[in-house]
Amino acid sequence: MSAPALALDGVSRRFVKPLDLAERAANLLGAGRRAQVVRAVDGVSLDVAPGEVLGLVGESGCGKSTLARIASGIMEPSEGAVRIEGANRAGLGREARRRADLAVQMVFQDPMGSLNPRMRAGDIIGEAPLVHGIVGRGELADYVAGQMRLVGLDPALRDRYPHQFSGGQRARIGIARALAVKPTILVCDEATAALDVSIQAQVLNLFAELRRSLGLTLLFVSHDLGVVEHISDRVAVMYLGRIVEEATTDALFARPNHPYTQALLAEVPRLEARKRRFSALKGELPSPLAPPPGCHFHPRCPHAFDRCRIERPALREVAPGQRAACHLNDEATRSSSRA
């Protein structure tokens, strides 16, 4: 079997949240407050096969963007390794590292915020391939026109500035910019979240088409289960820095194993022709600053039992191609009490 296009191996990332003014003032009076540590990503391992679309879902603050940045090489992990086509990125020499970095490109959520407002669309798309010698100055104009056509933009608009485009067109510029350096892997972080549904549909269709025509590998990060379900071959579900379940899209949506996945699926609004009774998972999303011990989900889990409050459940296989991190899977083998 060939190496995964992208592999994360026990990746963690900690941030230190510095003391704010009030806390520092309190310390002058001897309060002894210490800077808090956020484990934004906590021991994540994931493989994405060549040409595969892996969707990553989870709620606000669970660490999706941090993981996306680590995967794309914009951020270093505090622990663990990232392998691009089998090679550990940290161990690469300068030239190999540069090539590995070009191979993984990132597409961001806010097309307006991630595009330089004072640059013309054509320059935004053409800058990196020129700098990296992917294309010479002489061929640049043709190259940019080709990239614009690839994402469904009229090359005649190359001299316009970002604010002169619609939201959907700006999203396309962001995608064209990422594709212009010929990556094999795209990491998309909420790439359609800022768009209206009809425009989102255009962009999702574009991703599907680019994947087919260019054979791209995609790590597609989103809080929107409907979007992830639509575009992904496999889905990983994240909760407070950890992967709690991972499976093929069909299996995950048909037979979710983890109680959090089950709750997410039950509560995602779906187009339906009749009123439904919303019945909800109790409790707030806990703060990543003070995650609950044991299973992070236990304060909200309807099935939690003593062990969940103490011991972190390991991610393990529950069916072929499906992994979940829940103690109930051990219990189930011991007794058959679980419905």
Partner 1 sequence: MAPVLEVRDLTVVFDTDAGPLAAVNGVSLSVGRGEVLGVVGESGSGKSVTGLALLGLVDPPGRIAGGSILFEGEDLVGRSEHEMRRLRGARIAMIFQDPMSTLHPVLRIDTQMIEAIEAHESVAPAVARGRALAALERVGIPSAAERLAAYPHQFSGGMRQRVAIATALLNRPALLVADEPTTALDVTIQAQILAEMQALQAETGTALIWITHDLSVVSGLADRVAVMYGGRIVETGPVAAVIERPVHPYTAGLIGSVPSRNRRGVPLAQIRGHAPALAQMPPGCPFHPRCERASALCARTMPSAASYGPAHEAACHHPLALPEAA
Q: Kindly tell me which residue out of 7, 46, 54, 66 binds ligand ATP, with binding defined by CB under 6 A.
A: 66
Query: Cα dist. 63→34, 39, 60, 270, 338 in Å?
Result: 23, 9, 8, 25, 31
Please count the residues of this chain forming the interface with ligand ATP, following the rule CB under 6 A.
14
Residues forming contacts to Mg ion in the complex (CB under 5 A) are 65
Query: Based on CB atoms, which residue is closest to ligand ATP, 223 or 303?
Result: 223
Rule CB under 6 A: say whether 36 interacts with ligand ATP: no
Query: Based on CB atoms, which residue is closest to partner 1, 102 or 193?
Result: 193
Query: Based on CB atoms, which residue is closest to ligand ATP, 39 or 327?
Result: 39
Would you give the distance in Å from CA 124 to the centre of its chain? Answer: 24
Site of tokens 């600053």? 289
Please count the residues of this chain forming the interface with partner 1, following the rule CB under 8 A.
49
- Side-chain half-sphere CA neighbours of 91 within 13 A: 8
* Distance in Å, CB of 240 to ligand ATP, minimum: 9
3-state class percentages of the chain: helix first, strand second, coil last, to nearest 5:
40, 20, 40
Structure tokens at 29: 């009076």
Query: Based on CB atoms, which residue is closest to ligand SF4, 144 or 326?
Result: 326
Query: Based on CB atoms, which residue is closest to ligand SF4, 33 or 309?
Result: 309
Q: Hey, which residues between 218 and 277 contact ligand ATP (CB under 6 A)?
A: 223
Residue 100 CB coordination number (10 Å): 19
Phi-psi region of 39 (alpha: psi -120 to 50; beta: other; left: phi over 0): beta
Positions that interact with ligand ATP (CB under 6 A): 15, 17, 38, 40, 58, 60-66, 223, 288
The residues that touch ligand SF4, with contacts defined as CB under 6 A, are 258-259, 295, 297-298, 301, 303-304, 308, 313, 326-328
